[in-house]
Copies of this chain bind each other. A is one copy, B any other.
Amino acid sequence: MPVAAKNKAETFAIFRGVEETVPVKSVTLKDVAKAAGVSYATVSRALSGSPQIGSDTRERIIKLCDEMGYTTNYVARSMVMKKTDLIGLVVPTIDNAFMSELAFYVEMSARAHGYNVMLCNSGPDLKQEKTVVKLLLGRQVDGILIVPQSSKTYENIRAYTDQVPTVFMSENLRDQPQSYVAADNTRGAYIATKYLYELGHRNILYFGRRHTTTHQLRAEGYMKACQELGLQQQFLDSEYSRSSIANGYEMARDLFSKPIDYTAIFASTDSSALGILRAADERHIDIPGQVSLIGFDNIPSTALPRIELTTIDQPKREIAIQAVDMLRDKIENGTQGYVHQILLPTLVKRGTCKALD
């Protein structure tokens, strides 16, 4: 695990002083009960809004709790309630614009409904993914939200997903019996290709991976559009398992060293599109002058000045919110079936696509 601190030499610490921290023994129900002269069951009822308690004593107790700084101990509570109000969020790496935006909305929405989220990075391998899911189970989370690492994730954690409500995010699971909410990748790719077509492009290159379900679906959308519109299909497959700017750049360098027999590129990922941009700049290939470029995901970087990448937006906020709603439904209503929720991606036009004349 890459977590050891390097260049310690470059750090320096200053010890400043000592706080007068009192090791606070947190106050319990029993404490306020004693102070109020009632049993601690009564205090519990006062806090939980039980009807079987006098409104005068309730107020008195609540006020006392406030004064004494009582906060209910959630782990004790979870113990008896047999639920933790905790959901596990597992993402390949939170260090990633797409994931972190998802995580943001997940946490906000979850908390708005009384849940806290436990964050786990599942990267880089399937073993760790399995480990963190198992860990989450031990923590007794009420449910799990997971962005799968690859198409193998389902098999990888199958043993646990029937022990706790689980919904997959972002990655389509196709025919597997699991709930998920994701963008319609096929349609997004279709929209992108068709947009390029409408701009006059007839030779469109598909650039990217095809060996995860998500990317397979994107490729399918591209192919469907090509068939409908009578275009020839052209692929540049990536052997890389993770798409990144660096990988896209490497691939694009190769690509641009050969004759250019296309007028537009559909990159299956914004990251790879960004890599293409770098390679193109290096080779003095004008985008969109010589070739148009469209990406997929609409990560924040695409909106940057000088980048202005035209792309397909994955509605991250909606994916996150729908996912926690779906999970809540499973948790709170014990809903048993599995649901596939597919959200529409949208075209966001910026500066890297140009009409052919």
Contact between chains at A118 and B119 (CB < 8 Å):
yes
What is the number of residues of chain A that contact chain B, defined by CB distance less than 8 Å?
A: 91
Complex interface: chain B residues within 8 A of A342 (CB)? 11-14
| A112 partner, pick from B1, B6, B7, B10, beta carbons under 8 A | B1
Is A22 close to B, CB under 8 A?
A: yes
Tell me if A177 and B338 are in contact (CB < 8 A). no
Within 8 Å by CB of A322, from B11, B14, B23, B138, lies B11
Q: Is the CB of B2 within 8 A of A140?
A: no
The answer to whether B1 and A318 touch across the interface, beta carbons within 8 angstroms, is: no
Report which of B13, B19, B162, B338 forms a contact with A17, defined as CB distance below 8 A: B338
Residues of chain B within 8 A of A3, CB atoms compared? 105, 108-109, 112, 321
**Cβ A107 vs Cβ B79 within 8 A:** no
Residue A104 is within 8 A (CB to CB) of chain B in the complex: yes
Q: Which residues of B contact A1 (CB under 8 A)?
A: 108, 112
Binds B, one of A50-58, A66-74, A147-155, A253-261: A66-74
> Is A202 an interface position by the 8 A CB rule?
no
Partner of A140, one of B24, B74, B101, B322: B74
A36 interface contact, C-beta 8 A: no
Q: How many copies does the complex hold?
A: 2
Residues from chain B with Cβ under 8 Å of A216 in the complex: none
Judge whether A229 is part of the interface by a CB distance below 8 angstroms.
no
A5: chain B residues at CB < 8 Å are 317-318, 321-322, 325
| Residue contact A11 to B336, C-beta cutoff 8 Å | no
Residues of B within 8 A of A281 (CB): 305-306
- What residues of chain A have their CB less than 8 Å away from a CB belonging to chain B? 1-7, 10-19, 21-24, 26, 71-76, 78-79, 84, 89, 93-97, 99-101, 103-105, 107-109, 111-112, 116-121, 132, 134-135, 137-140, 162-163, 177, 245, 274, 277-278, 281, 300-301, 304-307, 315, 317-318, 321-322, 325, 334, 336-344
The 3 closest A-B CB pairs, nearest first, are A95-B104, A278-B305, A100-B100
Beyond A12-B342, A71-B134, A73-B140, 9 additional contacts (C-beta under 8 Å) are A3-B108, A24-B162, A24-B163, A76-B79, A94-B100, A95-B105, A116-B135, A118-B118, A277-B305
